[in-house]
Amino acid sequence: MSWHGFEERSIDLARADEVEAVRAFLARFDLSFDASVDYTVALYQGRTMVATGSMAGEVLRNIAVAADMQGEGLTARVVSHLIQEAGARGIFHHFIYTKPDAAHLFSALGFKEIARAEPYAALLESGLGSIAEHCKMLAAQVADLPPGPRAVLVVNCNPFTLGHRAVIEKAARENASVVVLVVEEDRSLFPYADRLRLVKEGVADLTNVRVLPGGKYVISAATFPAYFTRGEEITKAQTRLDAEVFGRHIAPALGATRRYVGSEPYCAVTATYNDAMLAVLPRYGIEMLVMPRIEVEAAPVSASRVRELIRQDGWDEIAKLVPETTYRYLRAPETAAVIERIKTSQSRH
């Protein structure tokens, strides 16, 4: 398609030469190309690439315009193209993750800023739905909880272990009520629906605990892509941004003033996330409490250890690390496909 002398081309992500051209263009802006995107468009003037942008689900990313083409409306053209493509795929809500000094470009296109973590990143959104609507829903879901100090935990639980149970139990003892948000992004080895169910079953006896879906604003591909993909250079930016979103929006909606986490001896990304929360959350009046991992036979209990034992068929050891509800699930015939996927995968999540 041509537009005012510029040609729009959909990039064939299966062709190495087309992908390499986009990667080389983005490198001029200190941006990297993520091969996991669903779609990429580039604008050309003759044979020269002058702008590009990609999408991955609801997230618009890697949007860049050549320096000598600034002010020509190319950012708007790329964003418009991506939104049209997303609409054709049934996607009508959009995030943009960008540098803070570029956020105004997208605000001018109707995007609203959710949070920023200077000097690293800003997160904006547009389309159907908003963080304000999401927070209203969260507030309604916890309105009947007991008054008094309220704590939040954000958990992946891949799968739910006695370590997760211990942190939730501690929070339940020390607060009038506890909200547990289960990461909803479905990129872990255990499916989200199963993880949510296991958490609910594992804390069913704790009457002041409410388990809820994490939603798209808590450790999602928009706010925290490094949790699911490698990229050490951007981890600090993304963890800070996720902590900002939580402190500014999620915690107030839930009426929470405390956040509990377990210490992290294994996963560098999660350890960095804990550090980010310790730096960010107190500014929003949220106390951060870190509980040392419980140990079984002198080794910290972790979901990663359970997954490794599954690969080794170490079921006797697994039984010592998880609640009975989790163990029954792991041994159930209907879980066989999940178990097989774990045995053939080296994914860290």
Residue 273 placed within a domain: yes
Report yes or no on 93 lying in a domain.
Answer: yes
Residue 176, in any domain of the structure: yes
DSSP string computed for 212-223: EE--TTSS-TTT
270: pLDDT confidence band, cut at 50, 70 and 90?
confident
Are 138 and 222 in the same domain? yes
Q: Which of 215, 5, 2 is nearest to 129 (CA)?
A: 215
Domain count within the chain = 2
Is there a domain that residue 348 lies in?
no
Quote the pLDDT of residue 228. 43
The answer to whether position 223 is within a domain reads yes
Nearest to 164 by CA among 187, 198, 141: 198
The verdict on 182 and 296 lying in the same domain is: yes
- Among 70, 94, 129, the domain boundary falls at 129
**Contact status, residue 152 vs residue 178, Cβ threshold 8 Å:** yes
Residues 26/62, Cβ–Cβ less than 8 Å: yes
Return the CATH number at 28: 3.40.630.30
The SS3 call for residue 4 is: coil
CA dist 50 and 35 (Å) reads 20
Radius of gyration (Cα) for the chain, nearest Å? 22
- What is the residue-averaged pLDDT of the chain? 91
**pLDDT bucket at 122, cuts 50 / 70 / 90:** confident
Q: How confident is the model at residue 269 (pLDDT cuts 50, 70, 90)?
A: confident
pLDDT digits (tens, 9 = 90+) for 65-86: 999 998 889 999 999 999 999 9
Q: Is 53 found in the same domain as 40?
A: yes
Region 305-320: what's the mean pLDDT? 97
| Matching residue, tokens 């949790």 | 227
Whether residue 110 sits in one domain with residue 14: yes
Model confidence over 221-257: pLDDT tens digits?
Answer: 666 555 444 455 567 778 888 899 999 999 999 999 9
Here the contacts of 326-330 (C-beta below 8 Å, separation 24 or greater) are 326/159, 326/160, 326/161, 326/198, 326/201, 326/202, 329/159, 329/194, 329/197, 329/198, 330/159
Same domain, 122 and 159: no
> In this model, does residue 3 exceed pLDDT 80?
no
Identify whether residues 248 and 326 lie together within a single domain. yes
In a domain, 322, yes or no: yes
194 and 316 in a single domain? The answer is yes
Query: In this predicted structure, what is the pLDDT of residue 239?
Result: 84
* Predicted confidence (pLDDT) per residue in 174-228, tens digit: 999 999 999 998 888 999 999 999 999 999 999 999 999 999 998 766 665 554 4
Q: What percent of the chain has pLDDT over 70?
A: 93
> Which three-class secondary structure state does DSSP give residue 95?
strand
Q: Higher model confidence: residue 348 or residue 323?
A: 323
Sheet containing 209-213, strands listed edge to edge, beginning at the edge strand earlier in sequence? 209-213, 177-182, 150-155, 258-262, 287-291
| Side chain identity, residue 200 | K
Same domain flag for 47 and 31:
yes
Residue 18, domain extent: 2-129
Does 169 share its domain with 124? no
Residue 349 lies in a domain: no
What pLDDT is recorded for position 233?
Answer: 54
- Assess whether 140 and 187 both reside in one domain: yes
Largest CA distance in the chain: 69
